[in-house]
Structure 1
Amino acid sequence: MGRLVAVSLLGISLALLGERFLALRNRLKASRELESIDLPNCHLIKGIEAGSEDIDILPNGLAFFSVGLKFPGFHSLTPDKPGGILMMDLKEEKPRALELRISRGFNFASFNPHGISTFIDDEFKNTVEIFKYIEEDNSLLHIKTIEHELLPSVNDLVAVGPTHFYATNDHYFSDTFLKYLETYLNLHWANVIYYSPNEVKVVAEGFDSASGISISPDEKYIYVADILAHEIHVFEKHPSMNLTQLKVLKLDTLVDNLSTDPSSGDIWVGCHSNGQKLFVYDPNNPPSSEVLRIQNILTEKPTVTTVYANNGSVLQGSSVATVYDGKLLIGTLYHRALYCEL
């Protein structure tokens, strides 16, 4: 009798694991392939060879790139090189990417940037690093390291003040094995945190894997990408900094980082059409790149347009897209970066 029970439990366990495996393949869009959509005036950015996972642009045209992300299970073209921050002046006739020097005392050897956000102030493990950009010598002054128990697995953030921000946790755990286990089991434990020096709190939760985050130009709405659920969540921001969900936009791709065009309010999204290729890297069948533009997201029927799509022959694993004055920048998890004139 005991043996029969053991065999039955084993069968149930295997069936559950098989169902979870099939569900994970569906969440990763493992069978989805892209038809290429090219842009005419594009070139790869010199000096970015191993990823530009996130990009943020100031109103004056200075674009900042977080580069060199190392993520367990992902391919890396430069496994021994620490991450860094690059800057490009998009107002120049032929802009080029420059690596910014970081002030002494910062632990540069362990720097692994994942997400970047900028905030303009007239005065001025999983951690959030705050830097001040020194324009005179193109350097970064390290101001502060922020650690908190509610920030176990920070993926992206959007600044709403000098030391105030919203951040996404893409996992509940910080341990690598437990991260993959909760992804496999689809536990929906990821969340969004509001951080300030005086208050830290959960403001949204129940995500499969909360990834990119952005804010509307009028700062009334927060947009959050749930990468494995293929969704963008729209939240209303209140004076208390709490968030109320207004709607969910479902898409047929893995949505990564979000960027909002300050002039139009359009949302630009770096996407992965087949997430399985990110984990099982094959140079002969590399991850593709996909960029979506979402117009009028607050309306009942937003317009979703695929602006760029490539099978990996030019760009692999696009994670972010952002625009400035007719220029489009597309960054990747661990590959190159693309500069386009729209």
Structure 2
Amino acid sequence: MGKLVIAIVVAALSVLFGERMVNFRKRFLASNELVNSHLPNCVALKNLGEYSGSEDITIVGNGRAFISTGLEYPGIPVTDGTGKIFSLDMQDPRMKPVELRMPRNFDLESFNPHGISVYTDETDDTVYLFVVNHPQHKSQIELFRFVEDDLSLVHVKTITHELLYSVNDIVALGVDTFYATNDHYFTHEFLKGFVELLLAQPWSNVVYYSPEEVKVVSEGYYIANGINVSPDKGHIYVADMLVHEVHVLERKEDNGLVPVKAVAVGSLCDNIEVQPDTGDLWLGCHPNGLKLFMFDPKNPPGSEVIRVQNIHSDEPLVTRVYADDGQVIMGSSVAATYGGKLLIGSVFHKALCCDLE
């Protein structure tokens, strides 16, 4: 009966939204040809596991990287392990991630980490880690304080709100303020993972959160995915995965966002990392969405890393820095650089560290 219902729904959608569904398939499949373009000295990071994933990675100023692993999300292959957060000292030549100790009063069994962001309090240099968590496939934000001396996390609080219903990624702006993307409109797994993708409507949005105010500040995205902020904190960047674009939005005094431009990146880009000294955007991207969601180990999804330079200029430079057909790394979701090295994370596969030159 279930298959019959699905068949009827698909048939009805095909009649009502035939042209839109054709356009969706073109976008989702992506049109760019993938030719392997590897970087020198790429090695898999130890300790993370072959199929634990490394969905998001962010690096703070002293070269310490934070890595979220173990994401379970509707429509993607299941990873091997439970949710964990790792730390990696990019200045240590061993390049060996260490699992951060979690607090005893935190529910580790349901921990399902997605996007992450780090905020350093300039008053006392305290490092706060914001983690998008999906226990039982719900959405909430976990706020941790990082203790460097014993490589542990102290759980500060859990943030929930009716506007944070399908959170993908987050960018922290203060100790308890942030912007977050909702990548879907529906919360039901079938509706968000199948029907909504077929309808391909611009129902995704960006939310601003503070203890005093929570509001939708930008909408009209097909799949709002990665989000980050410019080094001067004046602009927010949002990856609209389905239409292969990165949106540039100007921040206002009331924390609202005003669209400035959309830059075509030519792939289904996931998370965004911003290089502090240059303002360059680094994107982990999926060259073929269908391969990612219809996973076949004999025909694996490939990986791309795209760099956007001078994004605020009239002619931003979009460059493919790394490409692999899935034989080395499958489903790249993030890329972050520090000290001439590039970390590449994936939704459900390994993580790589490569030399940029």
Alignment of 1:89-100 (within 5 A): 89-100=89-100
1:190 paired residue number? 204
Helix, strand or coil for the counterpart of 2:192?
Answer: helix
For the pair 1:25 / 2:25, whether they are aligned, the reply is yes
- Displacement after TM superposition at 1:11 (Å): 8.5
> Contact 1:237–1:244 at 8 Å: present in 2 too?
yes
> Contact 1:29–1:253 at 8 Å: present in 2 too?
no
Report the more deviating stretch, 115-124 or 141-150. Answer: 115-124
Deviation per CA, 1:41-60, whole angstroms, max 9, x where unpaired?
21111122211000011111
Q: 1:165 aligns with which of 156, 171, 178?
A: 178
C-alpha distance in 1 between matches for 2:12 and 2:23: 16
Cα distance change on mapping 1:327 and 1:18 into 2, 3 Å: same
> Contact 1:318–1:330 at 8 Å: present in 2 too?
yes
Cα distance change on mapping 1:255 and 1:30 into 2, 3 Å: closer
Cα distance change on mapping 1:274 and 1:141 into 2, 3 Å: same
1:51 paired residue number? 53
For the pair 1:62 / 2:64, whether they are aligned, the reply is yes
C-alpha distance in 1 between matches for 2:182 and 2:157: 20
C-alpha distance in 1 between matches for 2:13 and 2:294: 25
C-alpha distance in 1 between matches for 2:113 and 2:79: 16
Aligned residues: 331
1:3 paired residue number? none
Stretches of structure 2 that go unaligned for 5 or more consecutive residues are 1-9, 127-137
The structure having more radius of gyration, on CA atoms, is 1
Deviation per CA, 1:249-276, whole angstroms, max 9, x where unpaired?
1232101100100011100000000000
Helix, strand or coil for the counterpart of 1:193?
Answer: strand
C-alpha distance in 2 between matches for 1:134 and 1:45: 23
For the pair 1:235 / 2:242, whether they are aligned, the reply is no
Q: 1:330 aligns with which of 344, 348, 355?
A: 344
C-alpha distance in 2 between matches for 1:268 and 1:200: 28
Cα distance change on mapping 1:12 and 1:86 into 2, 3 Å: closer
2:160 paired residue number? 147
Q: Amino acid of the residue matched to residue 244 of structure 1?
A: V
Percent of aligned pairs sharing the same letter: 51
- Displacement after TM superposition at 1:331 (Å): 0.3
Q: TM-score, normalised by structure 2?
A: 0.89
Report the more deviating stretch, 120-129 or 282-291. Answer: 120-129
Please identify runs of 4+ aligned residues in structure 1 that moved more than 6 A: none
Alignment of 1:221-260 (within 5 A): 221-260=235-274
- Displacement after TM superposition at 1:13 (Å): 5.7
Q: TM-score, normalised by structure 1?
A: 0.93
Stretches of structure 1 that go unaligned for 5 or more consecutive residues are 1-9
> Contact 2:170–2:181 at 8 Å: present in 1 too?
yes
> Contact 2:265–2:306 at 8 Å: present in 1 too?
no
Q: 2:303 aligns with which of 289, 293, 297?
A: 289
- Displacement after TM superposition at 1:65 (Å): 0.3
